[in-house]
Chain A
C-alpha cells in the first residue's frame, strides 16, 4: 500500500512555480554536468498553529542554551559555583547538586542511549519531529531566515531583489543581514565556551585576551559553522551531510504519523474558479502555497521524501488557503500512509499508534530510564578500591611475623571533607600501620578531602602463629610446603554514608630470603 512517488509526472509538469528541489533535479538531469549548483529557496512567511509551535520551541530551546551557563549554584570551598559546568581541566562534570567523574562515563552512555530510544519512539509515532522542531540546524536556520526577512522582505521581494542588478538598497540590506547573522553566530559560539569555564570569569578573560586558547578556537569554530550552516548551507546540511534522514527509512512505517498530502481528498487537483462546482474533482487547487513556504524546497504532494523535515509549515499554508476559499481544513496534515490509502479505497481509516514497534521502543526507553534513575538514586559519593602490593607480595619481619602492604584508594565525590575509619577484617592479632601514624590494632584513620581521591597506604602485620594458624584453617586442604598461601581478608571503611567492605587477600609466606 505504499504511495508511489511519481517523479516522472512532476518532471513533465511545466506550469506553476516548481519546488527548488524540482528545479535542482532538472538541472542535474542527463547532461547537467558533474556538479550541481544549489537552487535558492525563498520560503514564504506563514501563520498557523505549527508555525506558532515552532516559534515557541525556538524561544524555549534558545533560552535554555543561552541561560543555562549563567545559573549560579553555591558549592563549598574552591569548587566552581556554576550549576552546569564541564570542567575538562579538573576532569569533572558539575550538574546542580551532582558532580560526575570520568569513571562514571556510563551515565553519559545511558543518557545517549535514552536520547536515541526517545528519537526512535518519536520517529515511529510522529515521524521526524526532532528534525522539524528541535534540531539546532532547524532552529538556527529558522532564526536566520527570519533575520533575512527583516532585511530583505518576504519571498517575492527577495526574489525580485535577487534578480535585480546591484544597488545601494540591495547592498545595505544584504550586508546588514550578513552582519546580524555573524552577530548571532558569534553569540552562539560565545555561549558555547561558557559551558566549559566559569561563565563570568571567562567572559571578562575573553575580552581582555586572557582566556585559554581553546575558548577562542571553539568560539571561532562555532561562529563559522553557525554562520555557514544556518546562513548558506541550510537544507543541504540535512539532505547531504546528516545521516538522520537515511536512518528514518528504517524507523518510519505506514502507521507513523507524518506530514502528508491527503491524496484521497486532494486528487485530481487543478485550478478552481470561484463559484465553480467541486463535484468530480479533488480539494487541491494547485495554488502551490505548500511549495513556496517549504524551507526544504520540496513539494509535499509528491509524498514522503528524504528532504522533508516534518515541520508542518505546508499544513499551515494549506489551511490558510482552504479558509480563504471556504473549504475544510486539513488537506495537508499529520496522517499515516495507511489511513490515506484506506480512505482512498473507500474504507475507514485506522490509526495504530500502539503497535509492536512503538511498544518495544517505549519498553526499552522505560527500562533504560529506570536503570539510569536507579543508578542515580543509589549512586554513592564514596568509592573504595583495595590494591594489594605485588612487589613485594609479603615481608617477613625480624620476629617472624608477616607484613602485607595495601593501597586503599578512597574517592570522595561529595562536597565535604570526610573522615574515613579503616578496619581490617581478618585473623585476630593483626596490627595496622599507615605512614605518619602509630601502629594500631583497631584500625587507622584518614581524612579524605572533598572532590579528591586519596591513596592511603595501609600495612597489615600478622604475628607468625596467627598467620600459620589461620592459613591451616583457611585453605582447602592442598597446603604444599613452601607454597605461598593466601588468606581471604577484607577492609571495612566507615564513611559518613555508611560502611563499605572490600575483599582482598593476605599472603602469609613471603618466600625464602638469603
Chain B
C-alpha cells in the first residue's frame, strides 16, 4: 500500500534525524507569527502578574493593582441575589395567603422558597418529606392537632406551640398517673378505653369501668366521642394516627405523664414573607383542610 518515502515526496526539507518504526519527521520551520504569539503570551503573563493576584509570599500574596478578589465577588453576588429576591418577596408579603396559593406564578415561587426553607429549618424534626416521626407531627396527612387550614398552619408557624411566644397556643395534657389524679388501675382502664375508642378490641370490663372516669376527666378536651378539639390541640382518639404511638404501652405512658411537644415560633427567625411561603408549601403538600 505505501511505498517508501523518497526525496521526491519530502523535497529538500531535512528531517529531525530521529526515526520511529521507519517514520521520520520533517523539520519544517514554524511560521514566524507563531513566535510572535509566544512573545505576546510572555508579555501577557507579566501584565497579569501586575494586575491580578499572582505570586505567593511568606505572609500572603501579591494582590495585583486591579484588586480582584473572588471572595469580594461572592459577597457582591449574594447582595445582588438578595435584591433580586427582594422583588419577588415583596409580592409575597403583599399578597394574601389565598392569593399566593391561587396565582400560578406566586404559588410556584412560594413552593420553591418553601421547599428550600423547609429543608433548612423544619426537616430536622418533621423529616425532609414532612412525614414526621414519633412525637413529631406528620405534615403530609389530614390529621392536624391545631388545625390544617392555611391560616392555622400560618399561625402555628408564626408563633409556634408551647414556644413561649406570647401569642403561641398552649395546652397541657395532665399527667394523670404521675400527679396521682388517677390510680394506676384507673390508668390501665383508661388505656383500654382509648384502645376501644380507636375501634380495636379491648377488655370490655375495663372499658365499662373507665367510662365515667373519661366523662369526668377527659371529655373537656377530647370530647364525648373522643374526636378531639383542634382549638385546644386535643388529638382525635378515634382515628389511626398516633403522635406518640398506637400500642397500649404508648397510650398508657401518655395518660400517665402527658407529653406536649414544642413547636418553635418562626416569626422572629424568618422573614414574614418566608413564613408565608412556608405556610403555602406545607398546606399545598398536606391532605385535607
Contact = CB atoms under 8 A, between A and B. Distances in A.
Given A7-B8, A36-B32, A397 B141 contact: yes
B242 A514 contact: yes
Contact of A33 (B8, B11, B29, B138): B29
Contacts of A461: 287
B199 to A, nearest CB: 11
A11 B12 contact: yes
Interface stretch (B104-112, B164-172, B214-222, B260-268): B104-112
Given A446-B104, A461-B287, A8 B7 contact: yes
A389 B284 CA distance: 14
Contacts of B288: 397
B131 interface: yes
Contacts of A446: 104
Nearest to A454: B104
Nearest to A240: B31
B68 interface: no
Interface stretch (B77-85, B173-181, B233-241, B269-277): B233-241
Interface of A: 4-8, 11, 25, 28-30, 32-38, 233, 236, 240, 389-392, 395-400, 403, 405, 433, 435-436, 446-447, 449, 454-455, 457, 459, 461, 513-514
Interface in B101-159: 101-102, 104, 107-108, 111, 127-131, 133-134, 138, 140-143
Given A36-B29, A446-B104, A514 B134 contact: yes
A392 B239 contact: no
A398 B236 contact: yes
A34 B29 contact: yes
B47 to A, nearest CB: 17
Given A240-B34, A400-B240, 19 more contacts: A8-B7, A11-B12, A35-B31, A35-B34, A389-B129, A391-B128, A391-B129, A392-B130, A392-B140, A395-B138, A395-B140, A395-B287, A397-B141, A397-B288, A398-B236, A403-B287, A436-B102, A457-B284, A514-B246
A28 B11 CA distance: 12
| Size bracket of the B interface | 35 or more
15 contacts: A4-B8, A6-B8, A29-B13, A36-B29, A36-B32, A233-B33, A389-B129, A391-B131, A392-B131, A395-B131, A398-B142, A435-B111, A435-B284, A513-B246, A514-B246
B285 interface: yes
Contacts of A25: 11, 13
Given A37-B32, A395-B141, A514-B133, A435 B283 contact: yes
A398 B241 contact: yes
A400 B14 CA distance: 89
B11 A236 contact: no
Contacts of B141: 395-398, 403
Contacts of B138: 395, 513
Nearest to A236: B31
B28 interface: yes
Most B CB contacts (10 A, CB to CB) among A7, A390, A395, A403 go to: A395
